[in-house]
């Protein structure tokens, strides 16, 4: 890796940064998490309550508040819209890549850190977390800072690493609670037991740093406890700690051991071509007990950022994102020290997954988007597969630098094409809740009350209605007496129905009471499930 790596680094930084922010304001909210977070931030600004998050149909998505605070501040700068909602996550992923370079140089070397940054920006998994407003992107930033500070301490202890580590822990627990503690404390204990550089860890002063890092969390927790008598804090302890510690499964998401290995093989496309060799190198060096800070630090990082989550039953792809930086550095280190003439297992895996991506893009495109979208998706997939074959060809000819360039461009171009051309087609049906709110805004006065007839469990719907300056009320199980009372009341109302049967019962009741047939408007799209067309009906009050 000579000077072309520097140019490739600049290209990945600029193009990857562009991909992170491009089209973020053009795609409607994703239910349920992202839309719930938007609702929390909306309520923060509308009520002034920065302590306890609250929004209709969003209780299961409550977490510590840092991510919601960041969204609320972004709303204040950019306005309440999709770009502002996703800005903190996109910025967090951008800073994560920059952090790997800035802090990775002193621990792992200039070339390894630079290539690892390229890998982060041109892989598929983490950059896409910058396109959706989830807590995970912000958490990964704090986890990456903390573990790079820890790895740097193994090489050369400094006060700066101590401040960065415990500062990142403090922000991490305010973002999502225990995950950063599992990663940092687990890594600290592992390195204290097995690393030849264990004496360097004393400079981190964990007996002082850990309690200090938890002070902001306890201060916020105290305010939240006072605000609602402890209901919110007790719920979080039960939902996020006790349930998972007892082996409970949340939202029906589970998987066997090896789940996250599959996630990373897909998520690190197109760099997966080097992934088997990287894992093999790590295993061989651990077996030979090479006393290098690189291997001990990366091993601890992978152990508690990835492997620990393989053995809990509840699984989501984001759970092991804390290991993303470690895998990027491991792949980069394998390529740089020393370059290999070929990567046979990685080539086979890469070609297989590239073929599956091509088939998957084409199949999903025809299924979800029709002929036009299917043809476009298939063309993108064929382009990806052709580029993958060209990469393998260069690698087998021994042109490692050319293969690295093609791999980088392949990942950057695929992300660009998906969000620039395929996702806008997805949004035509995905934006159904947004179109419901727009229809209400176009046909009613600001004083109109919007009544949701049932528990729709789609936080994007009340968020978009709130954007249109309309008050709303959420009911459950389509209660006919309440619906009729709102319909016949003095205030202008719009009733929103999802079930055809409930709607028909309401209209039959109006007919029985000799009421005139109300005005209705139907909105069709993907509401509760992608790919399944549903019809929501607006019924306008008298």
Whole-model pTM?
Answer: 0.95
The pLDDT, as a whole number, for residue 471 is 95
Beta strands in 236-373 (DSSP E): none
Mean pLDDT is lowest, of 153-167, 246-260, 451-465, for 246-260
pLDDT digits (tens, 9 = 90+) for 242-254: 776 666 666 667 7
pLDDT at position 289, please?
67
A 10 A CB-CB count for 504 gives: 11
Is residue 1 over pLDDT 60?
no
Element (H, E) at 423: helix 423-430
pLDDT tens digits, residue range 479-532? 999 999 999 888 999 999 998 899 999 999 999 988 888 999 999 999 988 889
The whole-angstrom separation of Cα 505 and Cα 410 is: 55
pLDDT at 238 (0 to 100): 87
Which region holds residue 454: left if phi is over 0, alpha if psi is between -120 and 50, else beta? beta
Query: DSSP characters for 64-84?
Result: -SHHHHHHHHHHHHH-SSHHH
- Summarize the confidence of residues 156-179 as an average pLDDT: 97
For residue 422, the 8-state DSSP code is I
* pLDDT tens track for 293-310: 678 999 999 999 999 999
The whole-number pLDDT of residue 255 equals 82
Lowest mean pLDDT of 188-197, 201-210, 279-288, 377-386, name the range.
279-288
Buried b (16+ CB within 10 A) or exposed e, 130-145: bbbbbbbbbbbbbbbb
pLDDT at 291: 57
Of 312 and 270, the one with more pLDDT:
270
pLDDT at 239 (0 to 100): 80
The pairs formed by 464-467 with CB atoms below 8 angstroms and a separation of 24 or more are 464/29, 464/433, 464/434, 464/436, 464/437, 464/438, 465/436, 465/437, 465/440, 466/39, 466/42, 466/46, 467/80, 467/81, 467/437
User: In this structure, what token pair is assigned to residue 472?
Assistant: 């709303």
Percentage of the chain modeled with pLDDT above 70: 96
Both tokens of residue 473?
């009320």
Identify the pLDDT of residue 530: 87
* Average pLDDT of span 199-219: 96
Per-residue pLDDT at 249: 62
How many angstroms separate the CA atoms of 33 and 366, rounded?
A: 27
Percentage of the chain surpassing pLDDT 90? Answer: 84
Q: How does the average pLDDT of the chain come out, rounded?
A: 93
Q: Are 375 and 381 in contact (CB under 8 A)?
A: no
pLDDT at 286: 82
| pLDDT, mean of residues 371-393 | 96
- Answer yes or no: is pLDDT of 13 > 70: yes
- Amino acid 290: pLDDT: 61
The more confident residue out of 337 and 485 is 485
Q: What is the 3-state secondary structure (H, E, C) of 359-379?
A: HHHHHHHHHHHHHHHHHHHHH
Summarised one tens digit per residue, pLDDT across range 31-60 is: 989 999 999 999 999 999 999 999 999 999
Given this model, what pLDDT does residue 216 score? 97
pLDDT score, position 480: 92
What mean pLDDT is predicted for residues 445-466?
95
Residue 316 has pLDDT above 60, yes or no: yes
Q: Give me the mean pLDDT over the 146-175 stretch.
A: 97
Give CA angle at 200 (198, 205), nearest 5°.
105
- Tokens representing residue 124 in the block: 């598929």
Give ∠ CA 217-141-282 in degrees, rounded to 5: 120
In this prediction, residue 342 carries a pLDDT of 72
**Rounded CA separation 308/186 (Å):** 10
């Amino acid at each position: 890796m000579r000077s072309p790596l520097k140019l490739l680094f600049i290209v990945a930084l600029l193009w990857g940064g562009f991909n992170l922010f491009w089209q973020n304001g053009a795609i409607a909210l994703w239910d349920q998490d992202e839309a719930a977070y938007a609702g929390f931030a909306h309520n923060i600004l509308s009520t002034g309550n920065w302590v306890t998050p609250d929004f209709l149909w969003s209780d299961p998505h409550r977490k510590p508040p840092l991510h919601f605070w960041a969204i609320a501040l972004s709303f204040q700068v950019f306005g309440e819209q999709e770009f502002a909602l996703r800005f903190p996550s996109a910025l967090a992923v951008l800073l994560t890549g920059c952090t790997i370079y800035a802090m990775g140089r002193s621990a792992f070397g200039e070339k390894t850190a630079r290539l690892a940054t390229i890998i982060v920006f041109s892989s598929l998994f983490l950059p896409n977390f910058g396109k959706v407003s989830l807590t995970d992107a912000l958490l990964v930033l704090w986890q990456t800072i903390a573990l790079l500070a820890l790895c740097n301490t193994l090489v050369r202890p400094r006060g700066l690493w101590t401040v960065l580590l415990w500062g990142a822990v403090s922000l991490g627990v305010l973002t999502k609670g225990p995950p950063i503690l599992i990663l940092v404390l687990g890594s600290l204990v592992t390195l204290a037991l097995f690393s030849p550089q264990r004496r360097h860890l004393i400079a981190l002063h964990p007996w002082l740093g850990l309690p200090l890092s938890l002070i902001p969390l306890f201060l916020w927790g105290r305010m939240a406890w006072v605000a609602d008598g402890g209901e919110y804090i007790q719920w979080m302890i039960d939902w996020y700690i006790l349930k998972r510690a007892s082996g409970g499964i949340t939202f029906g998401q589970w998987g066997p051991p090896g789940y996250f290995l599959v996630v990373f093989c897909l998520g690190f496309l197109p760099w997966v071509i080097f992934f088997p060799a990287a894992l093999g190198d790590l295993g061989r060096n651990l077996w030979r007990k090479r006393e290098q800070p690189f291997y001990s630090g990366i091993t601890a990082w992978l152990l508690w950022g990835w492997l620990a989550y393989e053995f809990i039953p509840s699984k989501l792809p984001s759970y092991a994102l804390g290991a993303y930086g470690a895998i990027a550095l491991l792949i980069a280190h394998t390529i740089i020290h020393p370059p290999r003439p070929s990567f046979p297992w990685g080539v086979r895996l890469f070609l297989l997954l590239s073929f599956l991506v091509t088939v998957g893009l084409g199949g999903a495109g025809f299924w979800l988007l029709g002929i036009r979208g299917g043809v476009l998706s298939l063309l993108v997939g064929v382009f990806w597969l052709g580029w993958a074959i060209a990469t393998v060809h260069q690698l087998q000819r021994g042109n490692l630098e050319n293969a690295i360039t093609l791999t980088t461009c392949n990942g950057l171009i695929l992300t660009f094409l998906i969000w620039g051309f395929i996702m806008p087609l997805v949004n035509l049906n995905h934006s159904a809740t947004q179109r419901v709110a727009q229809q209400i805004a176009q046909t009613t006065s600001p004083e109109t009350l919007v009544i949701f007839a049932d528990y729709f469990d789609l936080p994007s719907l009340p968020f978009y209605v709130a954007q249109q300056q309309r008050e709303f009320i959420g009911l459950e199980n389509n209660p006919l007496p309440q619906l009729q009372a709102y319909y016949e009341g003095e205030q202008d109302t719009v009733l929103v129905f999802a079930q055809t049967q409930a709607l028909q019962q309401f209209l039959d009741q109006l007919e029985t009471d000799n009421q005139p047939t109300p005005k209705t408007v139907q909105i069709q799209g993907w509401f509760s499930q992608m790919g399944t067309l549903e019809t929501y009906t607006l019924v306008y009050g008298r």
